Amino acid sequence: MAVAILARLGYRVTAVTGRVEEHGDYLRGLGAADVIHREEFADPGKPMQKARWAGAVDSVGSTPLANVLAQTSNEGVVAACGLAAGTDLPTSVVPFILRGVTLRGVNSVTQPLAVRERVWHRLSTDLPLDLLDQMTETIGLNDVFSQAEKILAGEVRGRTAVRVTERKVG
Ligand SMILES: NC(=O)c1ccc[n+]([C@@H]2O[C@H](COP(=O)([O-])OP(=O)(O)OC[C@H]3O[C@@H](n4cnc5c(N)ncnc54)[C@H](OP(=O)(O)O)[C@@H]3O)[C@@H](O)[C@H]2O)c1
């Protein structure tokens, strides 16, 4: 969703994935100008590296986030919203004090209604809805456990919506 929104807003977006061959065309279809492998961010690096990004949305944390911070240019902002790679953050103050980088946490769980309404409004204008349809798979309640196993096995992409009103009995 971040790829689609940022591309719609006019940014040049680089998408990072561990499945470049499988998902490259899909991510370019969402608006990514470049698609790179997440291996590039997997190993611990220097606290300040060549500046590559004006900003970033990170859903994995840990060493990949530390590398993104080290590659963020002056006054850039990085949003941290997930921990798929780990809860640690092996970084230093260097990107913050030498480049003025901002690390912004995102918590979608306990936001007040007023904030949610603002965000939903922004989503209605900034997220291309045809792409949202394309990245969404809808399942019934009975399929939740098997879908969760697929998600954990890295076999699902995009988002899964659960239709809670239809439950097969038996
Ligand atoms: N802040 C909040 O309020 C909030 C709310 C909901 C969820 N979250 C968090 O947001 C994150 C993303 O949610 P999600 O449902 O999209 O999670 P997910 O399906 O577990 O992971 C998202 C993607 O991260 C990549 N990934 C997985 N393991 C990785 C690793 N070890 N190193 C680097 N990349 C890895 C995979 O992408 P590729 O296969 O393409 O590489 C995967 O598709 C999760 O950590 C979740 O807990 C936060």
Domain with CATH 3.40.50.720 in the chain: 2-128
**Are the beta carbons of 53 and 68 closer than 8 angstroms?**
yes
State in Å: Cα 59 to ligand 1 middle.
5
pLDDT, one tens digit per residue, over 47-105 is 999 999 999 999 999 999 999 999 999 999 999 999 999 999 999 999 999 999 999 99
Q: What is the pLDDT of residue 130?
A: 87
Give 166's pLDDT tier (boundaries 50, 70, 90): low
Q: Are 65 and 38 in contact (CB under 8 A)?
A: no
Residue nearest to atom 47 of ligand 1 (CA): 82
The amino acid present at 104, given as its one-letter code, is R
Rounded to whole angstroms, the Cα distance separating 157 from 26 reads 10
Query: Which pairing describes strands 159-163 and 13-17: parallel, antiparallel, or unpaired?
Result: unpaired
pTM of the model: 0.90
Q: Tell me which of 3.40.50.720, 2.10.50.10, 3.40.50.360, 1.10.150.20 is the CATH number of domain 2-128.
A: 3.40.50.720
44 lines ligand 1 (CB under 6 A): no
Backbone phi, psi, residue 51, to 5°: -70, 125
Strand, coil or helix: 142: helix
